[in-house]
Amino acid sequence: MLPRLVSSLRLRPSAAPLAAATRCASSGNVDIRVPLNFWAGKRMRSQEKRNKEPVYEPATGRVLCHLEPCGASEVDQAVKDAKSAFGHWSKMSGMERARIMIEAALIIESRREEIAEMEVVNNGKSITEARLDVDSARLCIEYYAGLASTLAGQHVQLPGGSFAYTRREPLGVCVGIGAWNYPFQIAAWKSAPALACGNSMVFKPSPVTPVTAVMLAEIYAKAGAPEGLFNVVQGGQETGSLLCHHPDVAKVSFTGSVPTGKKIMEMASKGVKPVTLELGGKSPLLIFEDSDLENAVKGALMANFLSQGQVCSNGTRVFVQKHILPEFVEEVVKRTQAIEIGDPLAESTRMGALVSQPHLHRVLEFVEQAKKEGATVLCGGEPFVPSDPKLKGGYYMMPCVLGDCTDKMTCVKEEIFGPVMSVLSFDTEEEVLRRANDTTMGLAAGVFTRDVRRAHRVVEHLKAGSCFINNYNITPVEVPFGGFKMSGIGRENGQVTIEYYSQLKTVFVEMGDVDSLF
């Protein structure tokens, strides 16, 4: 049987007894003592003695566990096991693979609350959002299970009765490297298409949020996946480098920052390995004067404050047409001030803690820099200290709206990755399109307008991979997600992602004699 993670956790003595159907975890009362690496079908400790790194609980600032980074021997073992599993998994039919993936999705559904709680404890986001992340992971696995049996090639008739056909074949051992903002969801988004195509995967979570990826590994194993099909190795830059350079790794998929993405691409190029890169963004949100203001305000909040603003696709440059700027700003500030901040495991909380103390300081420094450059803090932008004593060491801040912003300000040009919205004004469509596209990144963009022709015209000219009309930050798994320019290469989700986890083989069949020139 698959052991529940909560049974492997040690609750502190101060934790109150838990009644039936109540929460299994509470902020400040979880210690993780079990290994977080996974290969050979079970949790594994690092084989060599290395310095363990503390992992913090964002809600309280206390140490949650200690990370055992993997070195060359552990990475090699995880890849070797994945290569062995690939031999069996790749020979199974799509229907056979699909059955195991569907079973994994059902297990995720049955453990939804447990997984969401651990995501909150390790990441700091609200339990409400964490549940949706778990749902997205489950839906992604279900979606690609449905595609697994549809993978097919093409038949081409040639002269004289000869013909050719194509075969879509798996790549081999794929590496997934995750980010800390959506730990469990990213592990599923990368593994589901890989496994559907017949690959195996070694996954490295962010060292900041190492807890939940191993739960997915256990779930795949419980569902009947071959031993070694989905392995987890923990660590930082050194571990990631070992994975990228490993000769038995066929592909690398990375989610994270632009600078790290460049390094991943460079390392993978040494072995001419394909990469999928889902990188950063500084996305524009365009709000025209004919917009439904209520929806535009809600869209701006969704574009900036999900997961404490720690979302790569966030529309942090909010361009508002001058005629409606005062009304928009008044309403968005009022609703931002009403966001409930606090214990991320509380049902009423809508904004939890940022992921780490250094990251909190970095975001606050952006706000200070914005003030120096002439922006006006309309609300928030300061540390927040909850009233609950156990949360006083947590990494909280008040969501911030900046007014009087200009295109040259640091807060408008650089990715902050925190709950900071920069509001800018514009006059004409032509002007705002030029300004919106004036960035090296192009992950996402959005437009609010009642004019259907304008909406499609504007989207056509926005240089971004994922565009939204009259909504924002909606990511159904059926739809491809990815960026233009320096925001990345390749796509996640949707049918097209099958092409990034498979390779095409062409077979020519001669039905007559060889027509030779010699």
What phi, psi does 251 have (nearest 5°)?
A: -160, 150
Calpha distance 288→121 (Å, rounded): 40
What phi, psi does 328 have (nearest 5°)?
A: -60, -50
Calpha distance 450→438 (Å, rounded): 25
Cα-based distances in Å from 398 to 53, 312, 419: 29, 20, 8
Let me know the angle formed at the C-alpha of 176 by 175 and 179, rounded to the nearest 5 degrees.
150
Residues 201, 356, 43, 29, CA torsion sign:
negative
SS3 assignment, position 469: strand
276: part of which helix (H) or strand (E)? strand 275-278
What phi, psi does 268 have (nearest 5°)?
A: -65, -30
Calpha distance 377→371 (Å, rounded): 7
To which residue do tokens 């990715």 refer?
415
Calpha distance 100→102 (Å, rounded): 5
Query: Of 121, 123, 33, 94, whose CA–CA distance to 498 is shortest?
Result: 94
Query: Of 256, 232, 82, whose CA–CA distance to 178 is shortest?
Result: 256
Residue 399 gets which letter from DSSP? -
Q: What is the dihedral of CA 430, 435, 438, 443, to 10 degrees?
A: -90
435: buried, middle or exposed (CB in 10 Å: 19+, 13-18, 0-12)? middle
Query: Of 212, 204, 215, whose CA–CA distance to 74 is shortest?
Result: 204
3-state helix, strand, coil in the chain (%, to 5): 40, 20, 40
Q: Is 278 a catalytic residue?
A: yes
Tell me which of 142, 278, 331, 415 is the catalytic residue. 278
Alpha helices in 199-342 (DSSP H): 213-223, 237-245, 258-269, 293-305, 325-337
Residue 274 gets which letter from DSSP? -
- Residues that are catalytic: 278
